[in-house]
């Protein structure tokens, strides 16, 4: 297990994920979010987007993956907070770049930016808090 | 059209869910293709289901229902074609493991407007069978004018 002393302010981490054609459908199947805007291209277009859009919670799950990998385990992710500033459209590739901004005892604070392949932010103010003592 | 503030305090639930190992694995595979961290030895535990701990946003599977029902509530009459998920916060407590019996309740805690945008926030709280809090979440939708 990654020990508390292994974390440093200024550490950075990165994760890249693609919203392939089937990702919103896979995500609907496991999350229960079958809102047609996510799985039907025509509904996505009717709502004003170029295609179906990925569930925001899937983008957030990827953010959580990035943080969990850095923190050393899923149970270490204690808080997550995001604003979905721009929909992730089918075909988009999202790059998450995170950094450790503070360490207060066992609490590790992270800030993460998430951009699509055009460099546009898809999340704003994304932050996470890890707890790096005890169970991971 | 702004959401009537009289809906603040409207409650949904309780909803009961039992977590199973296959659901956790399916979720992790669909989201991540099975990141090793979800299955690694660091999670080894004698609890039912062995090594599995639910991924951090697994709460969508057991805690989203109050938010989904509020968005579709005929009393609120929101236009779903104009509705998007705007903000999300998760605060995790006890880890979620296979076999956990979870109970979630939700409440509309805020409605607000900014220009042509209307916002609806639902707060949910989920406890396990031992009464430990496993998740507090705030779910915010935006309805584009």
CB contact under 8 A, B92 and A30: no
CATH code of the domain in which B93 resides: 3.10.129.10
How close, in Å, is residue A62 to chain B by CA atoms?
A: 7
CATH 3.10.129.10 fits domain A4-131: yes
Task: Examine residue B82 and state whether it is found in any structural domain, yes or no.
Answer: yes
pLDDT, one tens digit per residue, over A61-100 is 999 999 999 998 888 999 999 999 999 999 999 999 999 9
Query: Two tokens at A7?
Result: 């974390």
The pairing of beta strand B117-127 with beta strand B83-92: unpaired
Between residues 61 and 90 of chain B, which touch chain A (CB distance below 8 Å)? 61, 64, 68, 80-82, 84-90
| Closest to B84 measured CA to CA, from B142, B140, B145, B3 | B142
Domain with B15, as residue range(s), is: 5-20+54-144
| Closest to A89 measured CA to CA, from A51, A125, A126, A57 | A51
Task: Examine residue B83 and state whether it is found in any structural domain, yes or no.
Answer: yes
Enumerate the domain spans of chain A.
4-131
Average pLDDT, chain A: 94
Task: Examine residue B118 and state whether it is found in any structural domain, yes or no.
Answer: yes
Task: Examine residue B89 and state whether it is found in any structural domain, yes or no.
Answer: yes
Indicate if ipTM > 0.95.
no
pLDDT, one tens digit per residue, over B32-70 is 775 554 554 444 343 444 567 898 999 999 999 999 999
Q: Calculate mean pLDDT across residues B123-135.
A: 97
Domain count, chain B: 1
Size of interface A-B (CB pairs under 8 A): 111
pLDDT, one tens digit per residue, over A25-36 is 999 999 999 999
In this prediction, residue B38 carries a pLDDT of 53
Task: Examine residue B39 and state whether it is found in any structural domain, yes or no.
Answer: no
Query: Is A125 a residue whose pLDDT tops 60?
Result: yes
Q: Calculate mean pLDDT across residues B81-87.
A: 92
């Amino acid at each position: 297990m990654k020990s508390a002393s292994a974390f440093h302010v200024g550490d950075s981490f990165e994760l890249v994920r693609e919203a392939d054609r089937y990702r919103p459908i896979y995500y609907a199947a496991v999350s229960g979010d079958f809102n047609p805007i996510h799985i039907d291209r025509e509904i996505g277009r009717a709502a004003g987007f170029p295609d179906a859009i990925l569930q925001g919670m899937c983008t957030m799950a990827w953010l959580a993956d990035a943080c969990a990998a850095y923190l050393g385990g899923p149970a270490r992710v204690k808080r997550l907070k995001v604003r979905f500033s721009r929909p992730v459209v089918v075909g988009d590739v999202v790059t998450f770049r995170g950094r450790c901004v503070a360490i207060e005892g066992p609490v590790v604070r992270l800030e993460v930016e998430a951009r699509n392949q055009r460099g546009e932010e898809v999340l704003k103010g994304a932050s996470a808090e890890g707890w790096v003592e005890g169970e991971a | 059209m702004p959401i009537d503030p009289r809906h603040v305090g409207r409650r949904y639930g309780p909803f009961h869910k039992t977590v199973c190992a296959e659901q956790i694995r399916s979720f992790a595979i669909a989201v991540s293709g099975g990141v090793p961290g979800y299955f690694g030895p660091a999670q080894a535990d004698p609890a039912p289901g062995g090594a599995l701990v639910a991924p951090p946003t697994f709460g969508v599977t057991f805690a989203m229902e109050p938010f989904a029902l509020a968005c579709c509530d005929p009393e609120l009459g929101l236009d779903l074609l104009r509705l998007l998920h705007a903000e999300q916060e998760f605060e995790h407590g006890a880890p979620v493991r296979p076999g956990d019996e979870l109970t979630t309740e939700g409440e509309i805690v805020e409605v607000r407007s900014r220009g042509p945008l209307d916002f609806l926030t639902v707060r949910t709280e989920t406890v396990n069978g031992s009464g430990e809090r496993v998740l507090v979440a705030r779910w915010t939708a935006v309805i584009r004018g």
